[in-house]
Structure 1
Amino acid sequence: MMNSLLKEVGRGKRGSRDLTYDESVQAAELILNGAATPAQIGAFLIAERIKMSSPEEIKAFIDVCRSKSKIHPIPGGLDCAGPYDGRKKSFYSTLPTAFVLCASGVPVTLHSSPSLPPKNGLTLYDLLKGLEVASEQLDITSLLKAAEQTGFLFIPTEKWCHPLAQLRPIRTELGMRTLLNTVEKLLRLSDAPFMTLGIYHGTIIDKVVEVLRRTSVEKGLVIQGLEGSDDISVERITRVHWVTKEETTQLIIDPEVMELQVHYPDIQWSLKHQCDIILSVLQGKADLPYINTVLLNAGVRIWLCGNARSIEEGIYQAKYIIDNGYALQKFSLWKNLVQNNTSKKVIISLQ
């Protein structure tokens, strides 16, 4: 069966065709169930990359992945989906921004896995280690308990969707971006009604927008942000796509209009540097490029979720939260909760 599907997508630029939704479900089941061989999986992913996946194909893989994943709905939450291949050249503002939002009353879900090709940069996994949270030891129960008390949920995606973990060796060997790089960002394992989604290549914007409209997301923003993330730059104008089931609108976010525009310094981003700046932002002590990035992104996300009437009002809320230490309190509470829950489980398991 896999060979017949491969023939349809692998006939070259002119001879190949998009699979129907049902055919794509069949392909996804064969791949995610382990029925397809590594050679067939690699061939399929490369053929899809050359052909360029259709919205139906992307949606089918999302649906099959979700059917094999743990889902934990969080009402009123925001899912922030950045690249799973990490960062190398920009500040990871989405992490401190998440705690600003939680302090504003918006539950936030971030998700990640250990780094993947093509970038092989720093991921949220690495950041949590650098912030002295043992990301490999975080079990589902500890993360859910911490989320209940703080509003912040971190999802180690490959632990919640085991088939993706099994595909990691093939993806690593291929060494390039594939259909799965888009799929894993759109799994929405907390069923959040709001979403920000970062994309790397502008060529896929229309397809991702169409896929997002077919989900249960009420309001979403598709952003070609820093290094393909959903983080909006304070150095330049960013075009984003506002997405609901009824409409899609392109918006321009200009940091100069928000009085937040500033140039980023040219620096080498190490794990320690990322973590130091994240903590300095939460403490309200960061340099302008970093504090302004968090203010802008928090303001946009607070507005997206309906907790502010405008982006400007969202920015004012974010500044108040940081200045008064509420974001730092949220982070400290979350860190203590996950560490305590995890250490207790380790002690019990050793007895």
Structure 2
Amino acid sequence: MTDSAAPTFACARYIKEIGRGPNGARALSHEDTYALYEAILEDRVSELELGAVLLAYRVKGETSAELAAMLSAAHRSFEPLHVQDGREHARPVSIPSYNGARKTPNLVPLLSLLLAREGVPVLVHGVTDDPGRVTSAAIFAELGIAHAASHDEIEDSLASRRLAFAPIAVLAPKLARLLALRRRMGVRNSTHTLVKILQPFADPGLRLVNYTHPEYRESLTGLFTEHPDAAAGGALLARGTEGEAVADTRRQVQVDWFHDGHVDTLISPEHSQPHAPPIELPETLDAATTARWIECVLRGDVPVPPAVVRQVEVIVDVVRKPVVDQANPI
């Protein structure tokens, strides 16, 4: 509920544009989109109008320009992280984890631990629970890696062990409030896209960005190519594994690197590998079983899935390259 003492932000003229349905809706200007999303983040929009705005965007979808404006407002809603370079001056990497696993093991914690072992500072941020799914948060807990409880703890963990898991409620509480509306409204909203493209670092680091539906690939490609600030630090874009930014062990997917105003395809377009040797994965998907399997992989008792090996190699290579464009979106 919006604080009655807080100034209200009238949304009628915005809803009139974005709420005309899939065929009649029009995109807002950058200035209007920024003002609207900033007001939403600051809790200056009534619940009635907030619901209308979120559902309108759910039906209409966000243009790349609208995403850029929302992302800019999102970045200014939380304190960015300051992180030292890793070994050999590796820039930090952020991995969003908001989906979890239902059909395949969640290997985000394995990916992050392998990168940290290479000296790359890795921030995994996401939700702490999601009914019916195995979250990265639950697997980290089984591995004995505590969830950061404050901004300082995130930075301390990145400095001491090159790895931190930050609940979104700790990293960016205003965004977390909007994510939580899914359980009340029954559908996702624009914030679910924004947290997956968030640049959490003061000195921009590399982001792993994934998509599930082809239309999101198009809008994200437009975002990173048409709005250079949105791509600051670089972004690796690929089709996700159940919505998680970790390589799919069943097939190779295309990976594009957006950086310095350019885009390079680092891994070839997706294709299945029907004759590839079988990969030894956890027998069940629960957090405890997945954690024990990850420990076996890290000890060398079980091989790292080839697709994950390739993903680690690509990320390590990218974060050790010099960055030409250091424009800071924060």
Amino acid at match of 2:223: V
Deviation at 1:255, TM superposition (A): 9.1
CA–CA distance in 1 between the matches of 2:128 and 2:48?
Answer: 23
CA–CA distance in 1 between the matches of 2:162 and 2:190?
Answer: 30
- 1:87-236 to structure 2, matched below 5 A, reads 87-115=101-129, 121-135=133-147, 138-191=149-202, 192-213=204-225, 214=228, 215-236=230-251
> How many residue pairs end up in the alignment?
301
Against the structure 1 CA distance between its residues 266 and 148, is the aligned structure 2 distance closer, same or farther, given a 3 Å change threshold? closer
Residues 223, 241 of structure 1: 8 Å contact kept: yes
CA–CA distance in 2 between the matches of 1:36 and 1:139?
Answer: 27
Deviation at 1:9, TM superposition (A): 0.4
Q: Which segment drifts farther, 214-223 or 259-268?
A: 259-268
Against the structure 1 CA distance between its residues 57 and 159, is the aligned structure 2 distance closer, same or farther, given a 3 Å change threshold? same
Against the structure 1 CA distance between its residues 212 and 270, is the aligned structure 2 distance closer, same or farther, given a 3 Å change threshold? same
1:240 equivalenced with 2:282 (yes/no): no
Higher helix share: 1
Structure 2 counterpart SS, 1:77: coil
CA–CA distance in 1 between the matches of 2:318 and 2:271?
Answer: 17
Amino acid at match of 1:175: G
1:6 equivalenced with 2:15 (yes/no): yes
Deviations 1:243-262 (A, max 9, x none): 123322444167999x9764
1:272 equivalenced with 2:283 (yes/no): no
Residue ranges of structure 1 left out of the alignment (5+ in a row): 308-351
Structure 2 counterpart SS, 1:190: coil
Against the structure 1 CA distance between its residues 232 and 169, is the aligned structure 2 distance closer, same or farther, given a 3 Å change threshold? closer
Deviations 1:251-291 (A, max 9, x none): 4167999x9764576954112222122211112122x5x54
Residue 55 (structure 1) aligns with: 64
Deviations 1:293-312 (A, max 9, x none): 432321221122237xxxxx
Identity among equivalent positions (%) equals 19
What is the alpha-carbon root mean square deviation over aligned residues?
Answer: 2.8
CA–CA distance in 2 between the matches of 1:270 and 1:4?
Answer: 47
CA–CA distance in 2 between the matches of 1:113 and 1:244?
Answer: 28
Against the structure 1 CA distance between its residues 261 and 226, is the aligned structure 2 distance closer, same or farther, given a 3 Å change threshold? farther
Residues 284, 291 of structure 1: 8 Å contact kept: no
CA–CA distance in 1 between the matches of 2:162 and 2:287?
Answer: 25
Residues 235, 255 of structure 1: 8 Å contact kept: no
* Equivalent residue in structure 1 for 2:41, among 32, 35, 40: 32
Structure 2 counterpart SS, 1:72: coil
Amino acid at match of 1:275: A
Structure 2 counterpart SS, 1:53: coil
Residues 253, 270 of structure 2: 8 Å contact kept: yes
Structure 2 counterpart SS, 1:230: coil
Deviation at 1:25, TM superposition (A): 0.8
CA–CA distance in 2 between the matches of 1:254 and 1:201?
Answer: 14
Residues 97, 125 of structure 2: 8 Å contact kept: no
1:282 equivalenced with 2:298 (yes/no): yes
TM-score normalised according to structure 2 size: 0.81
